[in-house]
Amino acid sequence: SRLMNLPACELHRLGEIADLVISVRLSNVRKEELALALKNEGYIPKLLQLFQVCENVKNTKGLHLLFDIMRGIFYLDEAILFEVLFSDECILGVLGCLEYDPCLAQPRLHREIFTKTAKLQEVIPVRDPELRQKVHQTSRAQYIQAIILRNPSDLEEGFLPTLAFFISSSKGEILRGLQKDEEFVPKVFAQLTDEATAGEQRYELMKLFREFCAFSLILPEKRDEFLQTLTKFRILPTLEVLMGMDDMQVRSAATDTLSYLVEFSPVMVQEFVMQEARQSENDTQLIINVIEQVTCSSDPEFGGHKQLMEILCALIDPGKMLVAASSLEVLEFLDVFYNNYIHVLTAPLLADTSEEWYEIVYIDSTLFIFFLQLRTFIFLVDNYQTAEILASVLELLSFCVQHHQYHMKVYIIKKDLLRRTLLLMKSKHKFLALCSLRFLRRIIGLKDEHFNQYITLGNLFEPVVNAVLDNRNRCNMLMSALMELFEFIQMEDIQSLIAHIVENFSDALESVKYTHTFQRLKTKYEQGKDQQNQKQN
């Protein structure tokens, strides 16, 4: 209702202006009054003229004060100022003011970085001039928000809510406008796959398209229509190409987009995977691309590794398939996965646990000669990077054990996969040893007698018992997990495993004195034998 009196916009009064801007932060009414006065008096362009003067004469004190003033203006968080601050005439001056943070020894390069980004955005095929201007304005607001939120003390929840709402609503306006443009999606796809498109331009396109997909898919009334449009323009083959590129940023944005599609329409992606599997001449397949990025990553801790694993789990989760597919279709998909793709997932495990055959000559008392062939496995590579990859593979295989019980059981027994996995318990990396044990625990948790017979006949508890003996005097996560496994077998009274452990490893396990777990196993074994004798009698 009333305008605040502002100091004259002059160089010698910059300190007074800075104090005024900072002083109103605790009063919403005063902030509104100051914002209205700044707008009505055209004060921001005047401040930017002073910035030019200070920068030309290298007036460091004045530049530091202008930084405080401009940041303080953004801290007002008043929407009536955004149109001025993000305008073509003011944006570079505003960014210039924010370069001269008094806490930094050297000014930042906001104008240079932003100008480069703005040039890259020119590649975005937006025909409507008003919509294009909105794209530029939103990009400026996002960049300013990133600058303002750089300070950790500014990261509290709800900081600058008006600016955040301005960015969110502007994005919605842009994306609604793009939905009306029938030429937008085909033009984007054409430019994304065009070899002439530069890497940075492709990333800007992919970044906008990622947000476009995210926005369109969260609107239930438009989702089916949008998915049909994406299918028409072959979104999945396009993402397959982009995910195979060397550019990490493009690959990451493409992975995000695939993640949205898997979340909102897993059946569409699964049908595409089935279609690719039937076309045997197709060498580069989407699901193989996803698996190989998990298993061949040079740095598993980065590069969207966890996200790729989530995508893969979502694709092969029968629970998600059953929402829109019949049981027969689910079985058909699992058949395809185990016939065409599981070997890609297990390749690192098979490669790092090499199989060797030994021939033994035995001559009995009658001088009859026997030739025996024995098979053994050895763990080859144990560096950190390989351990990270193997841990990811085991996590995915554990998921398969839980969700694909029949298919995975056949595969494990056929490939003797558990024997290879338990070799990893010798790893110097305890997290990998734990993953190996967790895989065994998941199998035993099924309480499947076929699995139990496979374990006992193969003497697969030997590496587990060896791990207990190696860690008996230590208190660590591996030992706790080992004890939990034996406790589970005892509590669930899995007699075939109890008998195998007691009959083969009882003497060795007597040296583990600080727990009664193995004594309870022995008691269970004796009770089981008594019950068996009573039944026979």
Given pLDDT bands bounded at 50, 70 and 90, which one contains residue 282?
Answer: low
Helix-helix angle 60-76:28-40, to 10 degrees: 120
Q: How buried is residue 184: exposed, middle or buried, by Cβ count under 10 Å (0-12/13-18/19+)? A: buried
CB atoms under 10 Å from CB of 54, counted, come to 22
Band the pLDDT of 456: cuts 50, 70, 90.
Answer: very high
pLDDT of residue 146: 81
Q: How far apart are CA 158 and CA 243, in angstroms?
A: 35
Task: Render pLDDT for 250-265 as a digit per residue (tens, 0 to 9).
Answer: 888 888 889 988 888 8
Cα 70 from Cα 478, distance rounded (Å):
55
Between residues 434 and 118, the one the model is more confident about: 434
pLDDT of 51 over the 60 cut: yes
The residue-averaged pLDDT of 423-432 equals: 90
C-alpha triplet 317, 319, 325: angle, nearest 5°: 100
Of 453, 459, 454, nearest to 501 by C-alpha is 459
pLDDT at 155: 44
- Average per-residue pLDDT in the chain? 83
Q: Residues near 66 by Cβ (< 8 Å), separated by ≥ 6?
A: 14, 47, 50, 51, 54, 97, 100
CB 424 within 8 A of CB 461: no
Which of 16-25, 191-200, 216-225, 419-428 shows the lowest mean pLDDT across its residues?
Answer: 216-225
pLDDT (tens digit per residue) in 79-131: 889 889 988 899 899 999 999 988 888 888 888 888 877 765 665 667 778 88
CA atoms within 13 A on the CB side of 301: 3
pLDDT at residue 284 in the model: 63
Contact present, 242 and 197 (Cβ < 8 Å)? no
- How far is the C-alpha of 405 from the C-alpha of 397, rounded, in Å? 11
DSSP 3-state percent helix, strand, coil across the chain (nearest 5): 70, 5, 25
Give the contacts of 512 (CB within 8 A, at least 6 positions apart): 468, 469, 472, 518
Residues above pLDDT 90, as percent of the chain: 26
Task: Name the pTM for this structure.
Answer: 0.73
Read out DSSP for 339-350? HHTHHHHHHHHH
**Strand pairing partners for 355?**
377
Q: Give the least confident one: 93-107, 144-158, 183-197, 423-437.
A: 144-158
Confidence of residue 357 (pLDDT cuts 50, 70, 90): very low
Q: Which residues contact residue 189 at a Cβ distance below 8 angstroms, ignoring those fewer than 6 apart? A: 233, 234, 235, 238
Condensed to tens digits (0 to 9), the pLDDT of residues 171-228 reads 878 877 877 777 777 888 888 878 887 778 888 888 878 877 877 777 677 778 888 8
**How many helical (H) and strand (E) elements, i.e. helices and strands, does the chain have?**
29, 2
Which residue type occupies 33? E
Residue 397 has pLDDT above 50, yes or no: yes
The mean pLDDT value for 132-139 works out to 84
Token representation of residue 47:
């401040």
Q: How high is the pLDDT of residue 211?
A: 79
Which residue in this structure is represented by tokens 């950190």?
384
Say which range, 5-19, 57-71, 293-307, has the weakest mean pLDDT. 293-307
What does the block give as tokens for 327?
């049981």
Winning range, highest mean pLDDT, from 140-144, 354-358, 431-435: 431-435
What is the C-alpha to C-alpha distance for residues 255 and 260, in angstroms, rounded to an integer?
Answer: 9
CA distances from 172 to 83, 84, 98, 176, 216 (A): 17, 21, 28, 6, 10
What pLDDT is stored for residue 114 in this prediction?
A: 83
**pLDDT tens for residues 470-480?**
888 777 898 89
Distance CA 509, CA 489 (A): 15
The stretch 371-393 carries a mean pLDDT of 71
